[in-house]
Amino acid sequence: MGLVNDTVSAVVKPLARWVGKDRNKTYDDVEAALLRHHPHADKEYLREAYEFAHKAHEGQTRKTGEPYIIHPIFVAFILAESKLDIETVASGFLHDVVEDCNVEVSDLEEKFGKNVGCIVDGVTKIGKVKFRDKEQAQAENYRKMIMAMSNDIRVLIVKLADRCHNMNTLASLRDEKRRRISQETLDIYCPLAHRIGMSHLKAELERWCFFYLEPEAYKELSQELAEREKRQGKFLNGVKKVVGKLLDENHIKAEVSSRVKSKFSIYRKMKRKGCSLDALYDYYAFRIITESVEDCYKTFGLLHSKWQHIPGRIKDFIATPKANLYQSIHTTLMSPDGQSFEVQVRTRMMHRIAEEGVAAHWSYKDGRLMNVGKNEFESWLKKMAEDQKDVEDTDEFLEGIKGHLGAREILVFTPNSEIKTLPAGATPLDFAYLIHTEVGHKAVGAKVDGKMVSLRSELQSGSIVEIITKNSQRPNEEWLQWVQTPSARTKVRAWLRKEERDKAVEVGRNKFEKALKKNKIPVKSVKNTDIVARLPVFEKRKIEDFYAAIGFGSITTKNAVKPFLPEDPEAEANRQEALEERRNRAIEKVTKKSKNMLQVKGHNDILVRLAKCCNPISGDQIVGYITLGHGISVHKKGCRSFAEQNVNPARKVEVTWDVGAETSVFMVKLKVFTEDRAGMIADISQVFTDTKTTVQNLNAQVNEDKGVGIFDITLQIHTLDHLTKVIQNMKRVKGVLSCERFQ
């Protein structure tokens, strides 16, 4: 703590690029900055955004005790200075009002337009959802932000500006929290800033991360660099003069400047190479900004004729731009007394892109963005969002994001000379998946620069890669080791999971059918619709899920067949009696009546009752069975409980409906599965009104997890036609998934 607080003002100039003399900014500063870059921007609109934010944050303070509004003002200022359009700057003012002030996104959309609403929504943390733990909350917030970013990249830019100002005020936090935030910034936000080429925001963020994470090293390196700069100022000026003269003599118009590279990048390099400052070639960099690409190459030639260059350090990012569209030629030269220095040569436009990144690619009118067109960055973000969309596991998701961001990149070519970017260490298999998922799945080998190589070899920048495919090829477990990119890994994993699942479905189906046979249920008698009707019992949506669960063993075969087994009619009757005596009485009343509705061939005066397992109704095809002591019970033809009893054929009798049976009333139970939506009960009730049906009992349950409603309905039905009509009408109700007569 001590070191950080003592040195924060001495060592790190806070937001040096923007702060100037004043630590805080005012609305006027923001407006002036916006108008400098967009002279025709709508001042009224900007002021309204500011005043809205000011009112919303009224009374709130920051950890430092200052009024909260200084934060959004500063964020807006950074955005205006970064040449962003008016909507982005307005979003800077408004970026915290939804999260902190009970303002709805719709309010912002109404007042400031849809774009501002979307941007602010994108930077707002998910509020109302309860998360399992901190990690899940963080992952879900990233997921939301990345999805929003992929629709409008300004979401990211506002988030970066927000981070910049927050990093500046971390000193008032506890050390542990400060480190955690710094690490997150370094892992996620710095790479994002780099990827969209906003190098000034990236440098600012990195500087703070370095300072908070390694305060000792930061202080030491700062002092060492300052000393060297003093000592070698003469050398730097000397080189600058010589370069200037050289260009003049050759009639090349250019600006020459020199600087010490960013402390963090120097430190990172020293750490990576395990060397001291002296062993680095390039902590000094000269920048030459020319008028044309031609002049860039001419300048490059002149420099090489004047100084010795260090082999292997020429990088032509003009011919092959970096993934973030950075362009320049880099080379490292050596003065006669052995002092090395790097030179970067670029045109003015390249310079703008190097500094402003994505913002340099847009065109503006009246300070508003003309088209947030499809540029490299957005398609990259879209891809990242796409890759991460279906990743449910929190750790896997965060790893995927970091993987997308952290990697150093190589450039390789397709046989048609198309440039593709991959992280260093990527293999031909990664390349294959990058081209197309199917190319990945079917890849058997690769040609790199015309030579056959294995799919798992490491690709080098600049190679031409051709993938050889074969239709019979299938991905396998081993491939997870071969691929280096998260997106390829996700694709291989998805394929393997699907294949595993397909197998489980097959195994599950077999096990299920065997279990049916074991229980003497003909497999053919169990239709898909029968299974679908029982899926809610297993909390499954699709038959495949049901089979897969059996295959994976999460549903035992015993439990799987249970709902398909015939219910014991006696036990069922007992249960019914115990549970709903009243309804049973009613049913019995009707059942007794039924004696007169049925004719039993060859038997008279014999007790006839309708079986409760299938509740036959007038019009159903029926069959009678002489029970011991209970007279004849009448079942529907094909009733499963009847068919499965060990029936004695001698006891079967033919029964027919008597004329006039249609005036009788039968109790029929329906089971209806529906979507869970408002007004469902009303719509279902309408069916009964329309078909003039009396409802004896209606019981509705909602399974909220699955979003299904389950209705158990007992109806008074006259004939089979009547029932058919009810079922038909029911199935026409919007949201009714199935409606079955329930035995």
Note the residues at the interface with Mn ion (CB under 5 A): 96, 162
- Nearer of residues 89 and 730 to Mn ion, judged by Cβ: 89
Query: Is residue 99 flagged as an active site residue?
Result: yes
- Residue with Cβ nearer Mn ion (162 or 387): 162
| Helices 581-594/569-579 angle, 10° precision | 130
- For the CB of residue 165, give the shortest distance to Mn ion in the complex, in Å: 7
Closest CB to Mn ion among residues 29, 162:
162
Cα 617 to Cα 610, 664, 715, 717, 718, distances in angstroms: 9, 9, 12, 8, 7
Q: Say how far apart CA 108 and CA 115 lie, in whole Å.
A: 9
Signed CA dihedral, 377, 379, 385, 388: sign only: negative
Nearer to Mn ion, 122 or 616 (CB): 122
Residue placing its CB nearer to Mn ion in the complex, 162 or 206: 162
Q: Which is the catalytic residue, given 42, 48, 100, 121?
A: 100
Question: Could you tell me the smallest distance in angstroms from the CB atom of residue 170 to Mn ion?
Answer: 13
* CB of 87 or CB of 96, closer to Mn ion: 96
Q: How far is the CB of 96 from Mn ion (least distance, A)?
A: 5
Structure tokens at 79: 């955005």
Tokens of 541: 């949506």
Yes or no: say if 224 and 247 are a contact pair by the CB < 8 Å rule.
no
CA dist 417 → 321, 412, 414, 463 (Å): 14, 9, 5, 10
User: Looking at this protein, which amino acid is placed at residue 342?
Assistant: E
Taking the C-alpha atoms of residue 311 and residue 690, their distance in angstroms, rounded to an integer, is 89
Long-range contacts of 691-696 (CB under 8 A, 24+ apart): 691/722, 691/725, 691/726, 691/729, 693/717, 693/722, 693/726, 694/665, 696/583, 696/586, 696/667
Shortest reach from residue 212's CB to Mn ion, in Å: 18
3-state secondary structure (DSSP) of residue 311:
coil
Q: How many angstroms separate the Cα of 372 from the Cα of each of 90, 150, 154, 192, 245?
A: 17, 11, 9, 18, 43
Nearest distance from residue 536's CB to Mn ion, in Å? 46
d(CA 30, CA 20): 14
Smallest gap from Cβ 158 to Mn ion, in A, equals 9
C-alpha span between 397 and 493 (Å, rounded): 13
> Residue 705 CA to chain centroid, in angstroms?
21
Least distance to Mn ion, CB of residue 69, Å: 11
Q: Least CB distance from residue 162 to Mn ion, whole Å? A: 4
Nearer to Mn ion, 101 or 586 (CB): 101
Tokens standing for residue 199: 């190098």
Which runs of E-coded beta strand occur in 110-268?
254-260
| Annotation says 100 is catalytic | yes
- The catalytic residue among 28, 42, 58, 99 is 99
Which residue lies nearer to Mn ion by CB, 99 or 712? 99
User: Is 615 within 8 Å of 669 (Cβ atoms)?
Assistant: yes
Active-site residues, by number, are 99-100
